[in-house]
Amino acid sequence: MEVLQKICQSILLCTVFIVLCLEASPCFAFTSFVFGDSLVDAGNNDYIFTLSKADSPPYGIDFKASGGRPTGRFTNGRTISDIIGQELGAKSFPPPYLAPDTEASSILRGINYASGASGILDETGFLFIGRVPLREQVNNFEQSRSYMVNVMGERSTREFLKKAIFSITIGSNDVLNYVQPSIPFFGHDKVSPNTFQHFMVSNLTIQLKRLHELGARKFIVVGVGPLGCIPFIRAVNLLPSGHCFGEVNYLIQGYNKKLNGLLDQLNQVLGPEAIFVYANSYDIFMKIIVNYHQYGFKDADAPCCGGYFPPFLCFMGRNTSSPLCGDRSKYVFWDAYHPTEAANVIIAKRLLDGDESITSPINIRELYNYNS
């Protein structure tokens, strides 16, 4: 009976694979595996006990695929990874790993492993209780890979993964945790900024190499954006309109420089069979904030949802709701931490087709077409 069940399961898995391939033209047109934090979380935190959730209105209000219902994305619409996928021909979005029955669709679409409040470092985001750190996200991918091997075999799995794009958007929460005041009984003495940057890079290196060992060959690694300009940091530091917290941004620029150097080294050692693309989100987003009128925005300071003062909650209840702007397309920030879909569209398109000052050594569209 057990043998019969295994045979039936294998037939079912292969049938799913064939059907999914027939739905795509061509098969494997675009597959991505997404790792990161709330900037790209597609709903994984909906399935864990955590204080970091985006599972209630008005989150997702402009997400057409759900009819405006929350999906666990920490914005009003699509994330940057959603938009890039669509621009490269994806017909649907990689499902969250923790959602039921995700594995069956992973063969074609890829999977989203990202988790809000997570970081490169395991301890990052502990105040939110539940989150999936990058190390665990890579562990989850390892489980997905085993599933693919069961369906396609080792050789076909390796060929499949060679063509997929692996995007890693993480580090913001590590920085936010570092710059916030230590919490009594929980905190500890901070290391120097330079040591902290090296610690982030070294831990990220471990996970990038693990992904490479598991078959990843096309990487897009996104640098940390100018967190010194987000509404949360501006508000808690009592900064006037139009000002950013320079100390935080300086820390981030130092980290991004080290990250870029790391990716250059990995390209030299592991290329050309593998390629690591650095995405300079910092400069893109800073240009949007400084020149927001040129991009069609009317506000680059306040969030559209939740207000500019603590506790920065964005919610819509029966009896009471947080402030919500009238025209979401005119705001750079959706809530106190995250960009609106309108800002995400600009960032995504710059990453897709930007020059080497934005993405290096090639842009994402070139990465998609890259063959070693």
The residues annotated as belonging to the active site are: 38, 335, 338
Query: DSSP for 310-371?
Result: TT----B-SS-B--B-S-GGGEEESSSSSB-HHHHHHHHHHHHH--TTTEESS-HHHHHT--
- How far is 171 from 29, CA to CA, in rounded Å? 30
**Residue 222 main-chain phi, psi, to 5 deg:** -90, 130
Strands 299-303 and 165-169 turn out to be unpaired
Give the C-alpha separation, 296 to 312, whole Å: 25
Burial class (CB in 10 A: 0-12, 13-18, 19+), 60: buried
- What's the burial of 143, exposed, middle or buried (CB within 10 Å: 0-12/13-18/19+)? exposed
d(CA 247, CA 252): 9
Helices (H) and strands (E) in the chain, counts: 12, 7
Element (H, E) at 32: strand 32-36
Rounded-to-integer distance, Cα 75 and Cα 38, Å: 9
- Structure tokens that stand for 334 in this block: 């959706």
Please confirm whether the linkage preceding 26 is cis (ω < 30° from 0).
yes
- DSSP for 196-250 reads HHHHHHHHHHHHHHHHHHTT--EEEEEPP--GGGSHHHHHHTTPPTT---HHHHH
108's CB contacts (< 8 A; 6+ apart) are 17, 20, 21, 23, 24, 27, 28, 31
- What the block records as the tokens of 147 is 């599933």
- By C-alpha distance, which of 98, 88, 120 is closest to 41? 98
Query: What is the C-alpha to C-alpha distance for residues 361 and 275, in angstroms, rounded to an integer?
Result: 9
